[in-house]
Amino acid sequence: MYKRAQWQWLAAIVLLTMACKKENNNVTKLNYEDGVSTVIYDLAGDTEASVADGVEGKEKRPFRSFYFKLSTKLQSWDSSNTFKQSNNWDLAFTDIYNALVYVNNGSGEGPGKGGAGKGLIIAVDSAYSKVTIAPEEDAFETGNLRFAGWDGYPQPYNTGWYFYSLNTHLAVPIQNRTFIIRTADGKYGKLELINVYQGNPPTVTDLFWPAPYFTFRYFVQQDGSHNLKTP
Amino acid sequence: MRTSKDLYTLFILCCSSLCAFSQSDTSRTLKSVEVKAVHLETLTSRAAMPVTVISRKTLEMMGSRRLDEVMREQTGIAIVNDVSAGSRAIGMQLQGFSADYILILIDGQPMIGRNAGNFDLSRITVSDIERIEIVKGASSSLFGSEALGGVVNIITRQHIDAAQGQAIVRYGSQHTQDFTLEGETPFGGGTNKSGNGSLNLSGNFYHTDGFNVNSFLSKGATAPPYDSYSLQGRLRYKLNANNSLNIAGRWALRNSINESVYSSSQVTNTTRDVLHESDVNGAIVWQVNLNKGRNANPDKGWQANLNKDRNATPDKDWQANLNKDRKTNLNNGWNANLTNTWQLKTQYYLTRYSTTQDVSTGKSAQLSSNDFTQYYHRFEEQVQYVVSNQLSFTGGIGGNLEVMDGNDLKSEYAYAQGDWKVNNRLSSRLGFRYDHSDFYGGRLNPSAGLKYSLSEKISLTAAFGTGYKTPDFQKRYQVFTNPQAGYTVLGVEEVAIQLAAMQAAGLISEVRPVAKDISAALKPEMAVSYNVGMSYTPVQKIRIDVNGFYNQLHNFINTVQIATRTNFQPVYSYINLDRSFTGGVEAGVSTHVLKGLDISFGYQLLYAKDRGIMDSIRTGAYPYNKIRNNNTGETRASKVSDYIGLENRSRHMLNLRVFYEYAPWGISATFRANYKSRSGYDDANNNRFLDTYDTFIDAYCLVYASIEKKLCKGHLAVQITADNLMNYTDMLMPGQPGRILMAGLKWRLFKQ
């Protein structure tokens, strides 16, 4: 009797160990390359600024904005009015963690104010590849967000691309939210802001994970049409 | 799918094992004879709530090195990372209560030194622990503030009846090293066989390289590496027939340097995290017995606990133990008359905790620093009065002084407890504790427990207790701006001044109406716990325990946004807001089917929710009013049923333990499996509550095994242990190491 019980247990333990076998724990790295879109990995923002009071050894100052030209993939730190009012940039990464992203628009409030930029931005809650067409002029103008930053902040209607988790105190990008934009020159495109943390981790597990390093992808329709189809 | 498969497997295992038992025909008793040490500050003799006990024997067989390793295998306990407080913040969760609410005691005295409320149990070596007691549920009636959700009591080596020494060397994965030297001896001769005094000294060194589960790190560890040194000593001396003195001291030091390198594309970033912490505990206890009859040796009876409960089943038998104790006493013939005895205990306890922790980047920029030194003094006078075999009382008064970075907090307390055995079937326990602090005033916490034996086989228990926790220094005086996220947190007493100063400096763009409600008189958090249980022994070798528990938390302190800075960042403070609850069922089956074979099975079902969130969903308050399907991008209105519960809590936890000892060959082995169902990691769709579209830690199962062979008449032992045998890791559980294999040698010196 004992023996039998023992064998049963041995078998049970082996079975259980098998049931508890290691799951595939590799972090799946998504492929953002679709052949036509441009993907930017780990574009460094102002990594030396601090917002903290009384933190020794760290420069306490506002984050310096940087500017990005979509067609040339050029990053510029030139914050002169001449530059800001030019069409040499399409996106301005401003404010805390450079995560408040403006389009270059000369007529509204924003870094491009007073310039010739025709930039517009609206949000679509859909996967990047499923956004295939830019809306007509009127709809675009009415829905214009001017910038995309912290979702629902400062007002609930401020649609953004990430939010701060009050639980982990980390920035969490919002999945499957795509922005339709108009560049400074008036061309239509789409933009997905993917991450602010280095290496684009699926989930951030370290309070001191290096930031801001931007991962984003975009497609600009060069023929001037509203067609935004990508594979 | 995985979840149900694992559950099913365990279910089958459980059934098949029960079948196996019913076929066997032994008539051995499940429990060994047990004697209770009346004079020790054990929770078993104080708590109304069920007490789980882990014995030295269990610890030895498991081959665990640090306290966190032992605790993470217990039913209803989880060791979880607090990501918001950095990579070193790791704490123990019990019945769904987070680490802030669990009091850690060493020989009945509180241990201090927390990181944002988290007590890192890996600070403590297992090497000199005699046994561990765990009380789940509100226990402030025993220990005052902080024991709101439960208590863990670590009891160090107590019983010394022969001179012996022990050396342990362990080495394994991640360069883990564990060295222990321990010696103890009775002295002072006298009439007592084992001497009037006893001395125990032990030292331990531990090193680990840590463990990395983050594939984005090219160097560094998510479970940080460290070196730990600890020394512990205990002196007991019986001055005369009625007076004895007990002096205990512990010193522990930990150094840790963790350099993390994040590499991707062309970017390399280094974060250097340096920690030094030290920990001192000292206690002097003077015990006076005022009874007419011969005195019981206070140490007697500890041996019995060694055999007991290697499966750490809930030890609900406080009253039963007492009965057994008396019975044994009578049988042994000493101290036959325990009635009308008085005992006085005078004790002074001091603990000091000091830490410096600095996190900096490779560019020598400091990200955070957390330096403080904390002192805690306690003086207590305790009286025990045993009226008769049916009735006994314990009472005491004491005072605490806590000093931290120039802030003093004084508090006083008094408690009383009565144990009344009404008849052979019914016994009861009633306790009160009154705490008074200069700042928060007085607070009374009652607890009550009842046990009723329906028959020889079935007994029922019911317990009730309350708990409270006063807001800590941080919540009152903190002025902090997070360098990563950029928000500011103000302690309630700083709000008025700091907010005005920030406004004057033009840093504030908006002050919210709630700022006016921030009261400097932040109320203590309160808990009420209920526990109802049944213990069933269908045959002598099988015991089934089922416990239902419900803990209600009031005045839960939460952060609330009171203003917005001109840079869009929020300013937070604290407010008594939400009411949470945790409730569920804990079940255990323990069997002793063959000689040397103990098999047990534990399960916890847990619901832990925040009623504040449920109300917000019900009333449609932003941002709780919506739920976004992150897979499609669609958003709809939320329902209360969308709310899953508090983060980091598994609904189902299961464990199976098999402990086997074959005495003739000196071989013992253990096999343990722990399963946890999925638990929430973080919000992913910006509605501030956990729903199905958020980020979850997958369900998982960890397997542990150990085998030991004794040689040279028990003087030498060789042990091999495997923790997390299947090497399961998850990036979302940074503090859970993968497979650790260890080999150990134990050398014991004793007289045959």
Query: Greatest CA separation found in chain B?
Result: 83
A18 or B727, higher pLDDT = B727
What's chain B's average pLDDT?
84
Which pLDDT score is estimated for B338?
Answer: 58
Contact B367 A152 (CB under 8 A): no
Which pLDDT score is estimated for B558?
Answer: 78
C-alpha separations of B350 from B112, B121, B472 in Å = 11, 20, 19
Of B215, B222, B213, whose CA–CA distance to B88 is shortest? B222
Residues sharing a CB contact under 8 Å with residue A24, sequence separation 6 or more, in sequence order: none
The number of angstroms, rounded, from the C-alpha of B57 to the middle of its chain's C-alpha atoms is: 19
Residues sharing a CB contact under 8 Å with residue B441, sequence separation 6 or more, in sequence order: none
B493 is written with which tokens?
A: 């007493």
Of B589, B126, B123, B86, whose CA–CA distance to B314 is shortest? B589
ipTM of predicted assembly, 2 dp: 0.90
Q: Which residues of A touch B260 (CB under 8 A)?
A: 206, 208
B562 in the Ramachandran plot: left (φ > 0), alpha (ψ -120 to 50) or beta? alpha
Bridge pairing between strands B597-610 and B652-662: antiparallel
Which pLDDT score is estimated for B288?
Answer: 93
Task: Return the minimum-mean-pLDDT range out of B104-113, B336-345, B596-605.
Answer: B336-345
Q: Which of B13, B490, B657 to mutate to test the interface with A (most CBs of A within 10 A)?
A: B13
CA distance B740 to chain A (A): 14
CA B54 to CA B672: how far, in whole Å?
A: 15
A3 or B562, higher pLDDT = B562
Helix H or strand E encompassing B742: strand B740-750
Q: Which of A4, A166, A196, A216 to mutate to test the interface with B (most CBs of B within 10 A)?
A: A166
Contact B20 A56 (CB under 8 A): no
Q: Is B455 on the interface with A (CB under 8 A)?
A: no
Q: Which residues of A touch B487 (CB under 8 A)?
A: 164, 169
Amino acid letter, residue B95: Q
Q: Which of A168, A172, A216 to mutate to test the interface with B (most CBs of B within 10 A)?
A: A168
**pLDDT tops 90 at residue B637:** yes
Q: Is A100 on the interface with B (CB under 8 A)?
A: yes
CA B521 to CA B141: how far, in whole Å?
A: 23
Q: Per-residue pLDDT averaged across B342-366, rounded?
A: 85
Q: Is A32 on the interface with B (CB under 8 A)?
A: no
B94 is written with which tokens?
A: 């019990």
Contact B682 A167 (CB under 8 A): yes
**pLDDT tops 80 at residue B749:** yes
Q: Per-residue pLDDT averaged across B304-329, rounded?
A: 34
Rg (CA), chain A: 23
B509 is written with which tokens?
A: 């763009």
Q: Which residues of B touch A213 (CB under 8 A)?
A: 264, 267
Residue B204 — pLDDT band, cuts 50, 70, 90?
A: very high
pTM of the model: 0.86
CA B533 to CA B550: how far, in whole Å?
A: 12
CA B491 to CA B514: how far, in whole Å?
A: 15
Q: Which residues of B touch A4 (CB under 8 A)?
A: 20, 23
Contact B631 A176 (CB under 8 A): yes
Q: Is B356 on the interface with A (CB under 8 A)?
A: no
Q: Compute the residue count for chain A.
A: 231
Residue B594 — pLDDT band, cuts 50, 70, 90?
A: confident
Nearest to B673 among A16, A58, A125 (CB): A16
C-alpha separations of B584 from B96, B137, B449, B607 in Å = 9, 12, 19, 6
Give strand pairing partners of A163.
Answer: A172
Q: Is A48 on the interface with B (CB under 8 A)?
A: yes
Contact A203 B634 (CB under 8 A): no
pLDDT above 90 covers a percentage of chain B that reads: 57
pLDDT digits (tens, 9 = 90+) for A165-178: 878 888 999 999 99
Q: Which of B12, B19, B648, B682 to mutate to test the interface with A (most CBs of A within 10 A)?
A: B682
Chains A, B: CB pairs < 8 Å: 237
Amino acid letter, residue B326: R
Contact A198 B632 (CB under 8 A): no
B161 or B385, higher pLDDT = B385
Contact A199 B21 (CB under 8 A): no
CA B459 to CA B145: how far, in whole Å?
A: 32
**pLDDT tops 60 at residue B35:** no
Contact A25 B729 (CB under 8 A): yes
Nearest to B264 among A55, A97, A199 (CB): A199
CB contacts under 8 A, A 65-94 vs B, are none
Q: Which residues of A touch B84 (CB under 8 A)?
A: 167-170, 207
Taking the CB of residue B419, how many other CB atoms lie within 10 A of it?
Answer: 22
Contact A150 B673 (CB under 8 A): no
Residue B267 — pLDDT band, cuts 50, 70, 90?
A: confident
Sign of the dihedral defined by the CA atoms of residues B110, B116, B117, B122, in that order:
negative
Which pLDDT score is estimated for B12?
Answer: 40
Q: Is B14 on the interface with A (CB under 8 A)?
A: no
B481 is written with which tokens?
A: 């701006």
Q: Per-residue pLDDT averaged across B247-270, rounded?
A: 92
Which pLDDT score is estimated for B542?
Answer: 94
Secondary structure (3-state) at A8: helix
Which pLDDT score is estimated for B303?
Answer: 31
Q: Which residues of A touch B25 (CB under 8 A)?
A: 1
Chain A: residue whose CA lies nearest to B502: A53
CA distance B42 to chain A (A): 35
Interaxial angle between packed helices B2-23 and A2-19, expressed in degrees from 0 to 180 and rounded to the nearest 10 = 170
Give strand pairing partners of B258.
Answer: B273
Which residue stretches of B54-138 are H helix?
56-62, 67-71
**pLDDT tops 60 at residue B451:** yes
Q: Which residues of A touch B23 (CB under 8 A)?
A: 1, 4-5
Q: Which residues of B touch A41 (CB under 8 A)?
A: 264-265
**pLDDT tops 90 at residue B318:** no
Helix H or strand E encompassing B286: strand B267-290
Of B272, B250, B253, whose CA–CA distance to B261 is shortest? B272
Which pLDDT score is estimated for B521?
Answer: 74
The number of angstroms, rounded, from the C-alpha of B730 to the middle of its chain's C-alpha atoms is: 23
φ/ψ of residue A70, rounded to 5: -65, -45
Nearest to A19 among B9, B361, B628 (CB): B9
Q: Is B569 on the interface with A (CB under 8 A)?
A: yes
Which pLDDT score is estimated for A41?
Answer: 93
Q: Is A161 on the interface with B (CB under 8 A)?
A: no
φ/ψ of residue A51, rounded to 5: -105, 0
Q: Per-residue pLDDT averaged across A65-89, rounded?
A: 96
Which pLDDT score is estimated for B441?
Answer: 85
Secondary structure (3-state) at B563: strand
Q: Is A221 on the interface with B (CB under 8 A)?
A: no
Residue A21 — pLDDT band, cuts 50, 70, 90?
A: low
Residue B437 — pLDDT band, cuts 50, 70, 90?
A: confident
**pLDDT tops 80 at residue B180:** yes
Contact B702 A20 (CB under 8 A): yes
Q: Is B84 on the interface with A (CB under 8 A)?
A: yes
Strand arrangement of the beta sheet that strand B150-156 belongs to: B109-110, B102-106, B150-156, B129-136, B51-55, B314-315
Residue B37 — pLDDT band, cuts 50, 70, 90?
A: very low
Q: Per-residue pLDDT averaged across B335-355, rounded?
A: 82
Q: Per-residue pLDDT averaged across B193-203, rounded?
A: 84
